[in-house]
């Protein structure tokens, strides 16, 4: 084999990529990163770490070595230390801790959706029952609301800044409620009306209490498609929602949003928006694959597609904003 010939390394890496997911999941569950950080660089041997996490030395040694190969840890003289991103995001004591994301991203409900991708591709949509993850009251959204909350702060702050001073706000598919809560914090007179399944809104209510804005959070339990949304809003938040549905469904929801907005009111849509080639940038482009496997007819729509759908729903003009460093974009549409 000459040096210029391709090697099979990337292909084997992909065939075994599931092992990396499971290794990280176990490390988060064992709170391994926190233990290593707490021990400190000169003491974090496999033996010391294994005593701290309460597992055998061999298993801990092999897991730590594998995480070192993945460059989430480093190893020097038999002692482990956290890579900079692991230190910021996987040490439970860090304010940016996102180990909880594993609860959603690696939940059995989500993983099951990828069990038979061949069948999914043949069908053109999820093999999960009914509407997949979008089935009414799917418990996965409670996992989402609890697990993903720590991740949304940068996007929520960006949207709250874009929103500016507002008074009556509708938060559709509010989940953890943090998008509305950030608007409420930015805008002292804003009243937030949050729509989601009852069990999910419970998480939003807890978060609003922690943020000290629970007196301005009003719960509207149910599906945004079925219930009366009310009216006279000057802002509607539509975060991570459209990608679950086909275009006619998105248009019908956006029509309902249009009716609920006061004249001059705005809809802010947070979405994974790939370029027209659908393969860049990597994260929004890859998101379409998640929708294929978890929903009946969802997708990652391009900005041209959103413009067209929103125009059909009555919004003459939409403009796109890119929060720096985030995989999602914000589309602002004025009634």
Q: What residues from 65 to 124 belong to the interface with a second copy (CB under 8 A)?
A: 65-66, 68-72, 75, 83-90, 96, 98, 101-102, 105-106, 111, 114-115, 117-118, 120-124
The minimum distance between CB 28 and a second copy, in angstroms, equals 9
Among residues 38, 162, 286, 320, which is the contact residue for a second copy, using CB under 8 A? Answer: 286
Give the residue from 139, 206, 196, 138 showing the smallest Cα distance to 171.
196
* Sheet bearing 261-271, strands edge to edge: 217-221, 191-196, 168-172, 233-239, 261-271, 329-334, 318-321
Contact between 325 and a second copy (CB under 8 A)?
yes
The minimum distance between CB 169 and a second copy, in angstroms, equals 25
The minimum distance between CB 227 and a second copy, in angstroms, equals 30
Contact between 334 and a second copy (CB under 8 A)?
no
Paired strand residues for 269 = 238, 331
The residue (of 287 and 315) whose beta carbon lies closer to a second copy is: 287
74, 181, 183, 224 from 159: Cα distances, Å? 37, 11, 8, 21
The minimum distance between CB 278 and a second copy, in angstroms, equals 5
Compute how many other C-beta atoms are within 10 angstroms of the C-beta atom of residue 256.
17
The minimum distance between CB 53 and a second copy, in angstroms, equals 8
The minimum distance between CB 291 and a second copy, in angstroms, equals 8
The residue (of 106 and 211) whose beta carbon lies closer to a second copy is: 106
Positive or negative CA dihedral for 81, 85, 90, 96? positive
Contact between 247 and a second copy (CB under 8 A)?
no
Query: What is the footprint of a second copy within residues 287-306 (CB under 8 A)?
Result: 288-293, 299
What does the radius of gyration of the chain's CA atoms come to, in whole angstroms? Answer: 22
- Contact segment (CB under 8 A) with a second copy among 130-138, 162-170, 250-258, 286-294 equals 286-294
What 209-212 contacts at long range (C-beta under 8 Å, 24+ apart), as own/partner pairs, is 211/181, 211/184, 211/185
- Contact segment (CB under 8 A) with a second copy among 63-71, 165-173, 187-195, 220-228 equals 63-71
Cβ proximity of 268 and 162 under 8 Å = yes
Contact between 227 and a second copy (CB under 8 A)?
no
Pairing mode, strands 79-82 and 217-221: unpaired
Contact between 47 and a second copy (CB under 8 A)?
no
The DSSP symbol for 115 reads: T
- Contact segment (CB under 8 A) with a second copy among 215-223, 231-239, 262-270, 279-287 equals 279-287
How would you write 260-311 as a 3-class SS string? HEEEEEEEEEEECCCCCCCCCCHHHHHHHHHHHHHECCCCCCCHHHHHHHHH
Query: What is the footprint of a second copy within residues 138-157 (CB under 8 A)?
Result: 151, 154
Contact between 212 and a second copy (CB under 8 A)?
no
């Amino acid at each position: 084999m000459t040096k210029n010939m391709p090697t099979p390394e990337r292909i084997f890496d992909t065939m075994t990529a599931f092992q990396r997911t499971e290794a990280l999941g176990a490390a988060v569950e064992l709170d391994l990163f926190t233990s290593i950080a707490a021990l400190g660089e000169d003491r974090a041997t496999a033996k010391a770490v294994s005593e701290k996490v309460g597992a055998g030395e061999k298993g801990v040694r092999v897991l730590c070595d594998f995480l070192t190969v993945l460059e989430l840890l480093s190893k020097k003289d038999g002692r482990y230390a956290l890579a900079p991103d692991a230190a910021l995001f996987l040490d439970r004591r860090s304010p940016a801790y996102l180990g909880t994301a594993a609860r959603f991203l690696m939940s059995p409900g989500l993983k099951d959706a990828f069990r038979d991708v061949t069948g999914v591709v043949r069908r053109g949509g999820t093999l999960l029952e009914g509407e997949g993850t979008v089935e009414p009251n799917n418990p996965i959204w409670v996992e989402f609301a609890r697990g993903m909350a720590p991740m949304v702060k940068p996007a929520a702050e960006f949207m709250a800044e874009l929103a500016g001073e507002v008074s009556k706000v509708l938060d559709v598919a509010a989940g953890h409620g943090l998008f509305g809560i950030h608007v409420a914090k930015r805008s002292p007179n804003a009243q937030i009306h949050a729509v989601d399944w009852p069990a999910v809104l419970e998480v939003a209510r807890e978060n609003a209490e922690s943020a000290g804005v629970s007196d301005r959070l009003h719960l509207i339990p149910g599906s945004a498609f079925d219930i009366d949304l009310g009216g006279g809003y000057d802002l509607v938040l539509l975060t991570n929602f459209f990608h679950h549905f086909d275009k006619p469904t998105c248009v019908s929801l956006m029509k309902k949003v249009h009716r609920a907005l006061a004249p001059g009111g705005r809809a802010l849509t947070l979405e994974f928006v790939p370029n027209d080639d659908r393969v860049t940038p990597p994260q929004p482009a890859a998101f379409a694959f998640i929708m294929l496997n978890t929903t009946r007819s969802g997708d990652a729509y391009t900005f041209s597609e959103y413009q067209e759908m929103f125009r059909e729903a009555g919004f003459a003009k939409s403009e796109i904003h890119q929060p720096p460093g985030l995989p999602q974009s914000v589309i602002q549409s004025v009634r």
